[in-house]
Copies of this chain bind each other. A is one copy, B any other.
């Protein structure tokens, strides 16, 4: 892959330093590590891919990278949706997927310690064995890794009740740019000793340190299978008002999802479920002891907000079927063309306004958009669908996305609720952070990574 003898000598040195790690320079294999899910972003040519097996390996890698001024792009399973793991020229890809040890499950203190490469769902499964759960459940939960989830502060469907990844991280172990190992937090519930470095590293997208393991908070597993409700609404405004009513009633669904008309039509064109007459759909779940009562209350609220029909089930198989529509949303969009998935957030009361602004932006620029939302969190995923012979995102889509981002900010919202900034949203980030916020982000980055080696181009 590299014919420069100096570069080859450096890679030979690296191979000697981390004999237990896998170091790959074969272009055919490296090609599988150039992108996350945002293949529309062009990737550079890295020097190779290293797959550490231990924190010590990562220490050696970063000391080497600092010595030779080699930029590194950390990655896990590559399920990211913001170009956080897109390779850059001359970089070393550091893939953590072989650090797969769950170091500890501590049921008494409801804590798990998992290495970066552990699949997120595996942490949850290990917790379930002792009656606990790991709450964060990004859609990629069966593929994505704890390291990536922590580095991006991943969200998911259950966030509406259980919070985002940050709310489940008690501490992290991270290797800094120069190879020092930083351990933050601990396993106490309360801890105010020093700055919140745990929170700082969560969501830092590999720009401040390479997360090698995390101490995770576990929760009691729900006492029952969830009750699932699905409501079809005659308008998006009606569905949004139902969401507000659920929130106002103080109910705590464990899932509250919105699908817009375009999404339902895309699913229906494929699966013929008779959804095309429905303008908007809400799917809710409750997993607490009083789930049946709450489902009755929500049925009444949905109906009062204008739902044509509300289906309810507490049977696990039927529940899964009702939720299936939500699972079909992305595959249905992908049938229509290439997709750029966005991730804006607004205050919950502005949900209907934001969907309307998304539709206006799409119409204005003549692009197709379908939208699903983690409605209870005000977190929307407008997916732009386009044709592109070379895979590049057309300018019309970027212009529509630009309108959507600025609409989110105007409505008091955010460019990204759970996917991160990555390379994808970098150019809009200063619009949200403002000049002082941008400068402070930059000051922190410079303080922790003065040579700028950690995931360059990401974040600020």
Per the bound structure, the CA–CA distance linking A191 and B345 in Å amounts to: 7
Q: For A164, list chain B residues within 8 Å (CB).
A: 190
A439-460: which residues lie under 8 A (CB-CB) from chain B?
Answer: 439-441, 443-448, 459-460
Say whether A347 contacts B109, CB under 8 Å. Answer: yes
Is A429 an interface residue, CB under 8 A from the partner?
Answer: yes
Residues of chain B within 8 A of A180, CB atoms compared: 436, 439
Encode contact with B along A83-114: 1 for CB under 8 Å, 0 otherwise: 00000000000000000000000111111000
Residues 420-434 of A at the B interface (beta carbon under 8 Å): 420-421, 425, 429, 432-434
A289 to B155, CA, bound (A): 28
Chain B contacts for A17, CB-based, 8 A: none
Q: B203 touching A196 by the CB < 8 A rule?
A: yes
Asked if A186 and B413 sit within 8 Å, CB to CB, the answer is yes
Q: Is the CB of B193 within 8 A of A419?
A: no
Contact indicator B197/A155 (Cβ below 8 Å): no
Q: Does A285 contact B (CB under 8 A)?
A: no
How long is the Cα–Cα vector from A430 to B202 in the complex, in angstroms? 22
Contact of A192 (CB < 8 Å), options: B187, B290, B420: B420
Is the CB of A137 closer than 8 A to any CB of chain B? no
Taking a contact as CB atoms under 8 Å apart, the answer to whether B204 and A417 are in contact is no
User: How distant is the Cα of A223 from the Cα of B180 in the complex, in angstroms?
Assistant: 50
Q: Looking at the complex, which one of B166, B189, B194, B447 makes contact with A379 (CB distance below 8 Å)?
A: B189
Within 8 A of B (CB), among A107-148: 107-111, 131
Assess the B108–A348 pair: CB atoms within 8 A.
Answer: yes
Residues of B within 8 Å of A195, CB to CB, are 200, 203-204, 208, 441, 444-445, 459
The verdict on A437 contacting chain B, using a C-beta distance below 8 Å, is: yes
Cβ contacts A to B, 10 pairs, < 8 Å: A108-B244, A110-B247, A131-B250, A180-B439, A181-B436, A186-B412, A188-B347, A195-B200, A196-B199, A199-B199
